[in-house]
Amino acid sequence: MPDLPPKPAAGVSRRTVARATAAAGLAVLFGAAGGTGRAGAAARLGPRTLDVSVPSAALGRSAPVRLILPSDFGARPERTYPVLYLLHGAHDDYRSWTRETDIEAFTEGRDLIVAMPDAGPTGIPSVWRDGPDYETFQVKEVPALLARDYRASGVRAVAGVSTGGYGAMAHAARHPGAFTAAASYSGILDTTAPGVPAIMDAIVARENLPAASLWGHPLLNLLTWRDFNPRARAAGLRGTALYVSQGSGVGGGSGDPLPGVLESALWPSAQGFAGALTRLGIRATTHLYSGGGHDWAYWKREFTASWPMLARALGVPE
């Protein structure tokens, strides 16, 4: 996303008054959120941005979600808003989108809620065989809290990077109709493609977790692996607006070769997923490009390219 230039200071304007009104409304909301008994404490980070601790039965603990609320949230208590879910990648956390992009400035005035839920240290938002259920947390529990406490409507879109891209397509495929649109930027879209199970195992092992704790052994528990594979569940994406981007990684990146290597390792997975959509007659916007790397420099560009589709699905201005 292109960085937006800072706006010059001026006298008190209607926009300033509106922001102050919204901030006052948020202050009331933050105070109420901690006292409802349904959500944990909300930490205010800015006029529109807050971190909410969500008690989760699926995880067996509370987990954080970063929210960006609409500019007029405090001034329009009667209004509901669509939600854009942004999922983080492996070995990162729910703060990544606000750290790496200008998503706060980008969404100002666009009348939507942005929700960035935690997916644990691996960033794989799935139902773990021996562990937490991040799928239920992200697809059921967080939306329920947003509808109850933050006036979220039933219109939702999801997008993610790397393992978050996996999550975006897996969630939409495994829960048909839950999302109006799904976008993946360098996501893991065919988990049983050659070499990909080893990548998944490496992601899990890097966090000092047993590889089999995710979905079990990729051969002995093949049916489970297929059940959570976006390619195998692609039929569930019919009717959902889709955006799929992936680089070949050949010559991608600069300096550090690792982003290009990682991107190239996922290239066949993206091609197989796109081919499966074509065979099923499911329409998707695909950008399978030469080069590129597995990093934010490319993901920010791809988010910008996918935004018109996401905006139409959410019913907000482009």
* Domain locations along the chain: 40-314
Higher pLDDT, 225 or 29: 225
| pLDDT band of 14, cuts 50, 70, 90 | very low
List pLDDT tens digits, range 87-105. 999 999 999 999 999 999 9
The pLDDT of residue 23 is: 34
The pLDDT of residue 38 is: 58
> Of the ranges 2-11, 49-58, 217-226, 305-314, which one carries the lowest mean pLDDT score?
2-11
pTM of the model: 0.87
> Of the ranges 35-39, 118-122, 179-183, 198-202, which one carries the lowest mean pLDDT score?
35-39
| pLDDT band of 198, cuts 50, 70, 90 | very high
> Of the ranges 6-10, 44-48, 146-150, 268-272, which one carries the lowest mean pLDDT score?
6-10
The pLDDT of residue 41 is: 72
List pLDDT tens digits, range 270-296. 999 999 999 999 999 999 999 999 999
The CATH class, in words, for 40-314 is alpha beta
The pLDDT of residue 21 is: 32
Asked if pLDDT for residue 199 goes beyond 80, the answer is yes
Higher pLDDT, 74 or 112: 112
* Alpha carbon distances (Å) from 97 to 144, 158, 160, 231: 22, 13, 10, 26
Exposure pattern of 259-274 as b/e (b: 16+ CB <10 Å)?
bbebbbbbbbbbbbbb
List pLDDT tens digits, range 105-142. 999 999 999 999 999 999 999 999 989 999 999 999 99
The pLDDT of residue 304 is: 98
List pLDDT tens digits, range 137-158. 999 999 999 999 999 999 999 9
